[in-house]
Amino acid sequence: MMRFDFDNSFARELPGFCVKWAPDRVPRPQLRYLNHALAEELRLDTGQQDTATLADMLSGNRVPPGAEPIAQAYAGHQFGQFSAQLGDGRALVIGEVMDGHGKCRDIAFKGSGPTPFARNGDGKAALGPMLREALISEAMHALGIPTTRTLAVVATGETVRREKLLPGANLTRIAASHIRVGTFEYYAARGDHERVRRLADYTIARHDPGLVGQNGRYLDFLGAVIDRQAALVAQWMGVGFIHGVMNTDNMSISGETIDYGPCAFMEAYDPKAVFSSIDQHGRYAYQNQPSIAQWNLARLAESLLPLLADQEKDAVVLATDAITNFDDLYQRYWLDVMRAKLGFNGRTPSRDDEDQALIAEWLGLLQRNRVDFTLAWRHLADAAEGSLASLRNLFADRVALDGWLAKWGARCASEDNHTQSDESHSAAVTRAKTMRRSNPWLIPRNHCVEDALTAASDENDFGPFEQLLTALKHPYEADAKFVRFSNPASESFTANYCTFCGT
């Protein structure tokens, strides 16, 4: 038997924050993806199990012993508008396990049938979007970016109705927790300060155990969440990830990327890039992500106000300072990310202004020349070793590129107290190698993802999905076998590319 050593601390310690609920039975569960490495990390013994039994368990047909499935309540600001009542409409947390590193992880289903929070939704999920979540969440993990993970995708044998009829599926999601900004908003909106406090104490024990029992812990907790989000969004920006639906119910307190609906990766550098069909005004465009994160965190801060100080006006001052501090934190994390991508060592505050200007000029060049974001950075690593051709080929305005490269080269060389012409060959090779660890060769390109999903969903051919997933496990290593996944889409594909919520 696949054994889970379940705990159910959320349901036990926070009764009234969730509803006990069972997953739907499904007609013909078929295991389409099982993440063996993750199963091992979670210390689940899948080895002895036949796939039919695994499919039964991971479809919800046979709830594993010890599981106590719950639908969690939450609210949320969606595109700026507050909804007091959202909650897990089609998801269930089935329990928590302790992983091999002693970390508590939620095991959850997505697409397991309607719950009392489903409103008018069918509670189901389609196979294509669940495979998409598997691909992109696992790619994010391999890129080194905090994220919920995908343990499994099971086709249910049902048909779900979207714009057309589609095969149904249930995804098993693993998360540090499913506590969202919107979870706090739910109780704050009802004026239930006692529940906000209990939720905060539970969350602190789970995510910031160093703060348990400390005076001033709620402010420090807020600071810790702000810090994690600043770090997370800086990492998204470094790989061109666009979340697509940064509503407060899709922002995890743990600092993991959560909710892979309409997300996409940028191809040609465009700060205004946005792919989601419903994001008409570009609220969640690439360049807006830091300020939206800060806006969402302000909603968390508001929810925590009664815990921060006895007098509301004092609480507002503390919360405002904490939220304002996001700017500095984000800027620092973003500079760290960008410096690593440029091949510079560590934090050097004395060079912040110079480096900011260098980065701005580089990004401006990428934008004006409509250069693929991923390839540009990756080929910059080649340029560090003196191989300029691959980079130059990406640019129309090579004179401007050469001008910038001269400044960048001088900045690199100055780190080793050399003039540019002196920088030794071995220092250059080392720099290029280091840069390749911060500049992926492979990201889940939209056209490759769509090809893989179409083959799986329309033709029942899972080969392309499996190959892409395999390739994405090692995004920092160029591999001749997978060159086809490293090529940008045509400009017209990207111009017409559209992603969807409510999948």
Nearer to ligand AMP, 130 or 233 (CB): 130
The tokens 């389609």 sit on which residue?
126
121 makes contact, choosing from Mg ion, ligand AMP, none, with CB < 5 to 8 Å by partner type, with ligand AMP
Nearer to ligand AMP, 123 or 223 (CB): 123
Nearer to ligand AMP, 171 or 375 (CB): 171
Binders of Mg ion among 227-256, rule CB under 5 A? 250
Rounded Cα distance between 153 and 132, Å, is 10
Nearer to ligand AMP, 89 or 409 (CB): 89
261 makes contact, choosing from ligand AMP, Mg ion, none, with CB < 5 to 8 Å by partner type, with ligand AMP
Given the residues 249, 259, 336, 372, select the one marked as catalytic. 249
List of residues contacting ligand AMP (CB under 6 A): 86-91, 114, 117-118, 121-124, 245, 249-250, 259, 261, 501-502
Number of residues near Mg ion (by CB under 5 A) = 2
Contact 356, 335 (CB under 8 A): yes
Q: Which residue is nearest to Mg ion (CB)?
A: 259
Shortest Cβ 230–ligand AMP spacing (Å): 22
Nearer to ligand AMP, 77 or 124 (CB): 124
Catalytic residue status for 249? yes
* Neighbouring residues of 11: CB distance < 8 A, sequence distance ≥ 6: 18, 20, 68, 70
Shortest Cβ 330–Mg ion spacing (Å): 23
What is the contact mask toward Mg ion in residues 255 to 274, using x (rule: CB under 5 A)?
----x---------------
The distance in angstroms from the start CA to the end CA of the chain is 32
Shortest Cβ 409–Mg ion spacing (Å): 45
88 makes contact, choosing from ligand AMP, Mg ion, none, with CB < 5 to 8 Å by partner type, with ligand AMP
Q: State the burial class of residue 32 (Cβ atoms within 10 Å of its Cβ: 0-12, 13-18, 19+).
A: buried
Shortest Cβ 86–ligand AMP spacing (Å): 4
Shortest Cβ 249–ligand AMP spacing (Å): 6
Q: Is 81 strand, coil or helix?
A: strand
Nearer to Mg ion, 340 or 501 (CB): 501
501 makes contact, choosing from Mg ion, ligand AMP, none, with CB < 5 to 8 Å by partner type, with ligand AMP
Alpha carbon dihedral 191, 193, 195, 196, in 10-degree steps, equals: 100
Which regions of 68-164 does DSSP assign to beta strands (E)?
70-72, 76-78, 81-83, 91-98, 104-110, 125-126, 149-161
**DSSP secondary structure, 228-284, as one string:** HHHHHHHHHHHHTEE-S---GGG-BTTS-B---SS-EE-SB--TT---BTT-TT-TT
Instruction: Report which secondary-structure segment, H or E, holds 204.
Output: helix 193-207
175 makes contact, choosing from ligand AMP, Mg ion, none, with CB < 5 to 8 Å by partner type, with none
**DSSP secondary structure, 309-358, as one string:** -SSHHHHHHHHHHHHHHHHHHHHHHHHHHHHHHHT--S--GGGHHHHHHH
Q: State the burial class of residue 98 (Cβ atoms within 10 Å of its Cβ: 0-12, 13-18, 19+).
A: middle
Nearer to ligand AMP, 46 or 115 (CB): 115
Nearer to Mg ion, 208 or 259 (CB): 259
39 makes contact, choosing from ligand AMP, Mg ion, none, with CB < 5 to 8 Å by partner type, with none
Q: Is 22 strand, coil or helix?
A: coil
Shortest Cβ 106–Mg ion spacing (Å): 14
HEC string of 39-77? HHHCCCCCCCCCHHHHHHHHCCCCCCCCCCCEEECCCEE
Alpha carbon dihedral 352, 438, 493, 262, in 10-degree steps, equals: -90
Shortest Cβ 487–ligand AMP spacing (Å): 31
b (16+ CB within 10 A) / e for 129-153:
bbbbbbbbbbbbbbbebbbbbbbbb
123 makes contact, choosing from Mg ion, ligand AMP, none, with CB < 5 to 8 Å by partner type, with ligand AMP
Shortest Cβ 88–ligand AMP spacing (Å): 5
- Residue 83, interface with Mg ion (CB under 5 A)? no
Binders of Mg ion among 331-390, rule CB under 5 A? none
Rounded Cα distance between 136 and 303, Å, is 31
Question: Residue 261 carries which side chain, given as an amino acid letter?
Answer: G
Catalytic residues: 249
Binding interface with Mg ion (CB under 5 A): 250, 259
